[in-house]
Structure 1
Amino acid sequence: MNYQPPTALPQRLLSNEEMQRALAGHDFGTVFRLARNHAGISYSRIAAACDIKPQRVGMLARGEGRITTFDKVVEIADALRIPGRMVGLAPRPWETGDAPAHPYAPEIGSTSVRRRTVLQAATSAGLAAALPALHRLPAPKHVTVSDVDQMQQRTARLRRLDDILGGGDTYRVYLGEYQSTKALLRDATFTLESRRHLVALLAEQAQQAGWAAFDGGRSADAEGLYEESRTAAREAGDSNLLGNAFAFLAYQTADRGAALEIAVSSCATITPETPAGVRALLYERLAWACAAANQPTRTEQALDTARAALDEQQDGEPQPDWAAWVDQTELDIMTGRCWTELRRPLRAVPVLTQALDRYSDHHARDKALYMSWLADAYLTAGEVEAAAAIISRALDLAAGVASVRPRQRLAPMLTQLRRHQELSTVRDVLEKAEP
């Protein structure tokens, strides 16, 4: 006899339009709220089935924080019997009949599914098996430009993982794509044109893998991938990707003087044909390097140039997918970050506050990072309690995100807060930050 866990979401609820939107966006707080309100599934049962603390389930249902790690997405999908396609996964084993039957504990569902599937998904092999985009077609023996176009579309789809997952979750995925393309360059045959396109794709994939490595705390791996990207971009004659490779290298270089020189080199790749979005990206990264080097005039000039590029952008103008994230909100955030770095809190706080109000919690890692600069600006201004409130919110957003950067950014601010433990708001934040 086939059993279903008592927490399985009923079909009528899965077909609900609001539920489908929530599942597609991994907004599990809304999923939990709808499950309770429309199917009578209590938060305590959800907490037990999904291995989440009851208090955390309630917080998520109130819109406080998000589920952002891949393994937890898989665990929730399996515990609530959510079809994989609804949350961006391949069909789950229990959908295809490949999973062995497991007894269900009446109050929590299948403990075997709940525990073992998550451990498998935490490995690179489990991740590859669960994401439909990773099911590769057989590698062609002769690569055409059309083949490369399809591979580039796949790379663009996989890039969306970075919106909700940290580099600790995505690094193996992106590295696997890069290595697959590298093997194709070694083993397949091409025309000169298709090979040039494939080398450019290799440069793009190396940058994405390098970014995930950097985000996951693998700085040496990131630098190596950025260097390989720079070499490939040069070989392909792609000045846009070459400029972005320089920008990535500058962003992670610890020597601020060297970082500024590299950032200047990135902008030197700009030509009259460079898309507006790429120009904005390279100049905002130059602005950051100038701010880190304590050069306020050059910082403002670079920010103005980036803003002018966005203002010149025409509707429908082709932009590479890897630069599509740069918009007015991102530029406002970079502006606030630069003024924070230059210790100008009166300029930083308003622009960061307004930009972050427009920034979705869906991008939990990035918003947590950006909020750290707002907290830093408040600390510079001596507004300790305001800084503590922002840090508390950033900690909530960063919880469970497989990225080292939010905690790295917040650590020195938490150290500063310890000087003010007489304030109850500060004590609460320090308690929250404890491992």
Structure 2
Amino acid sequence: MIEPDIKLAQQLFEQLRAESFDGIGITRDTYGAGEQRAHDLMAQTARALGLEVRTDAALNLYMTLPGSDRNAPAVLTGSHLDSVPRGGNYDGAAGVVAGLSVLGGWVAAGLQPHCDVTVMGVRAEESAWFPVSYIGSKSAFGLLPAEALDIRRMDTGISLSEHLRQHGGNPEGIAAGEAYLSADKIRCFLELHIEQGPVLVEEQLEVGVVTGICGSLRYRHAQVFGSYAHSGATPRSHRSDAVVALAEVISRLQQHWANMEAAGHEMTLTFGQVNTDVQQADISKVSGLVNFSIDMRSRSPQALALMDQHLQAAIAQATQTHGVRFELGERTGSKEAEMDAGLRNIMQLAAKELQLSHRELPSGAGHDSALFSNQGIPTAMLFVRNGNGSHNPDEAMDLQDFAGGARVLARVMAAQAGLV
């Protein structure tokens, strides 16, 4: 079996870090300079390898080693190249680098697959910049709602459509639903990714084969309105305290979460943003406003629906008890996805043959693989062990672990592309 070009991978990781370091962490901003530099680096590398390089209306990047039968359904691999603000160097990028390292090894050996094999650099996977899930992959299939193009980036205040135009994209084509990818022309989609939780590290395992990807239910811009009042002069019986009301809701939902886990439900619940109004809140005031967000994730739509019911009930009780008013705002989310059983088996067999310690596990985080799977495309994900979690500057994937994951990926790619 031809080895991936791990030296190339190391060089790419070093260049990505050098071009993305913001003084604290890694920032590759969606449809901004950071993400663009990463795409330019990958495209330049692909051209040096002799690969075909193309982009679509959303500027997703496609780097293809042509097969002997150009009409056969293609094998796709890859991931995203954007990051959260002040994130880590490997989240997303490891999947693109892995794909290029595999093709780099094949090119050096003079191999030609039966079908086209494409490494995809996906745009805009991180919804930290625009509050929409899977902008790049949805656009590739013509599935991004036209109204999403009017959403403004959280830091610049500029619309998605304008950010696209600035970098040479075609928002009109996206709005018209023009699709670059078609499910019937894709044999499979394979995504290597760092694990973003602690399972592989704690169990001292090198790689993990993903069983499925959680869907989400989110309230990004929720609020609770009470009444501002003097902290010393207002007795408890006369308060409408927004902070206390929200704290009660959070406490009740934490207990419901524990009960649901005890009953066998698999899910997570996060209040990622909780803040009072900086213009009005004060140490000597009862708080009249709290802004907050809620993120629920599970592979079970039923579990998400049940927790949403618990949320509504907790809000109703807190409203009555504390005389406040809740506004949850728009509810958004993403659909859960199952990974292909056949591809999972091939991945596990490859890991076993390579003598890599491994296990199956679900993904609590969302990934573009979910979008591919929900188009009916056989899809599989491989996690590589990574210390310190993700979405922070301290991601600590070891290059040796990455090399093991790349070798697993190479075997699955070769089997699907007719090289073995």
Give TM-score scaled by structure 2 length: 0.26
Between structures 1 and 2, the one with greater helix share: 1
Q: Which has the higher contact order (CA 8 A, sep 6+)?
A: 2
Give TM-score scaled by structure 1 length: 0.25
